[in-house]
A = this chain, B = another copy of it.
Amino acid sequence: MTNYFSSDFKLGILGGGQLGKMILYETRKWDIQTKVMDGSKEAPCKIACNEFVLGDLLDFDAVYSFGKDVDVLTIEIENVNVDALEKLRDEGVTVYPQPEVLRTIQNKATQKLFYRDNSIPTSEFSRFAYTSEIKESIENGGLRLPFVWKSARFGYDGQGVKIIRNISDLEGLPNVECIAEQLVDFKNELAVIVSRNSKGEAVTYPVVEMEFHPEANQVEYVICPARINEKVAQKAQHVAKQVSNAFEHVGLLAVELFQTQEDEILVNEVAPRPHNSGHYSIEASYTNQFEQHLRCILGLPLGKTASKVAGVMVNLVGSEGHNGNVVYENIEDILSQEGVTPHIYGKKQTRPFRKMGHVTIVNENMGQARLVAQEVKEKIKVISK
C-alpha cells in the first residue's frame, strides 16, 4: 500500500477549474501533495495545490512534461492531450481515467459507437464526417427531422449542440465531424455517478434528477434523490454501472441519462470525472464525490455513497447583460435560510451563463429543500458592477 498521507507521493491534476478546486479540498484534508496544470493564470486551483503550472492542456509537450514527475495523474476536464497521457502511462505513470477511455469519450461519435458495441441503451444516431453531409442525407430520406446535431469534438456546457427542426436550422453550424441524434421524448433527465477502482469494485451514487435552463442548456437544479420510482432508479443505476464496467473505467464516471415516456433508460453522455450533478454530495452524502474520486484512483476502499439528507443544487451562472468584475447580490439573504451553502468558484469575471458557483440546499425533507432552492434561485444574482 502506497503511503499517500503527508508523504512524498504526488498527484497530478490536469485542469485547474472549479472541479479541481473541490478535489483540492480533499487532497488538503488528507495532506496529499498535488501539482496542477491549467491554461489560465487566474485558475481557481492556483492556490491550495502544492505546485501550479501554467500550460496548455491540449499541447503534447506541456502535458507530457507536466506528468513526468507525478505518481498518479488525473484530470478535472476531459479535453486534454491524450497522446501525452498514453506516453506517460507507457513510461510508468499511473493515469486515471485511462487514456483510451478519454479518447473514446472525447469524440461523441466514437462514444456513441462504444455504447452500441457494448449493448448499452442509447438513442439512435448517425455519424457524419462533415456537417455538410447532413443536408444530403435528409434529402435522400436517410435522416428524418427533427434531430439533435452535436459536434463530435469539444462539446462542453451547451456548446456544440443544437436541435434541428428545419433544414434552415443547419445554417451557421461549423462544418465538422458530427452526429445526428434522435430527439428523445423524455420524462426526466437523470444522472448517476459511478465510482470504480482498479480492482473492478464499482459503487453508484443515488440517481439525481436534473432540470435544465431552457436557454443556456445548463443544469439549473440537481435534485437528490430523483423523484422517480424505485424500479426506474434501479434500472438507471444498473445502466450506469454497465457503462463504467464496459470502459473498465477507474475513477468517477458521471452518466447522464434520459428516462423516456415508456420508462426506458437511455445513456445520453458521460463525463469521466467529478461532475456538476454530484456537487450536492459535499453537503448531503456520507462520502462526497471528490473524496470518492481520490479513493478510486488511489486504490483506497470506496466510501459510502448514500445520503445523510436530501439535497438540491442550484448553479450560479452569470446573468445576461453582465460582463466584468463579479458581484453576488443577496447572498446574505440566502444565508439566512437553513441548510443553504453557497460555493463561489473564484472566477473574478462574470459573463452571461458562465458557471460562477453553486448553492447546495440540504434538508431532511426533500419538498422543503426544493422550496428553498427556488427562493435561492430567484433571489441571488450574479452580476457585474
Q: A327 at the A/B interface (Cβ < 8 Å)?
A: yes
Residues of B within 8 A of A49 (CB): 47
Mark the stretch among A22-30, A160-168, A207-215, A227-235 that contacts chain B: A22-30
Report how far A367 CA is from B362 CA in the complex, Å: 25
- Judge if A348 is at the interface, Cβ distance under 8 Å: yes
Chain A interface main SS type: loop
Q: Are B328 and A3 in contact (CB under 8 A)?
A: yes
Stretch at the interface among A72-80, A122-130, A173-181, A336-344: A336-344
> Is A222 in the interface zone, CB < 8 Å from B?
no
Number of copies: 2
A339 engages B301 (CB within 8 Å) = no
Do A339 and B286 touch across chains, with their CB atoms under 8 A apart?
yes
* A31→B6 CA distance, assembly (Å): 26
Q: Which residues of B contact A351 (CB under 8 A)?
A: none
CB under 8 Å from chain B, chain A span 86-119: none
What 1/0 mask marks residues of chain A from 320 to 347 whose CB sits below 8 Å from any chain B CB?
Answer: 0000001110011001101101111111
Ordered by A's residue number, 17 sampled pairs between the chains whose C-beta atoms are within 8 Å are: A3-B328, A5-B331, A5-B342, A6-B328, A6-B344, A6-B346, A25-B25, A28-B48, A29-B344, A30-B342, A31-B344, A47-B47, A286-B362, A300-B332, A304-B339, A308-B308, A308-B362
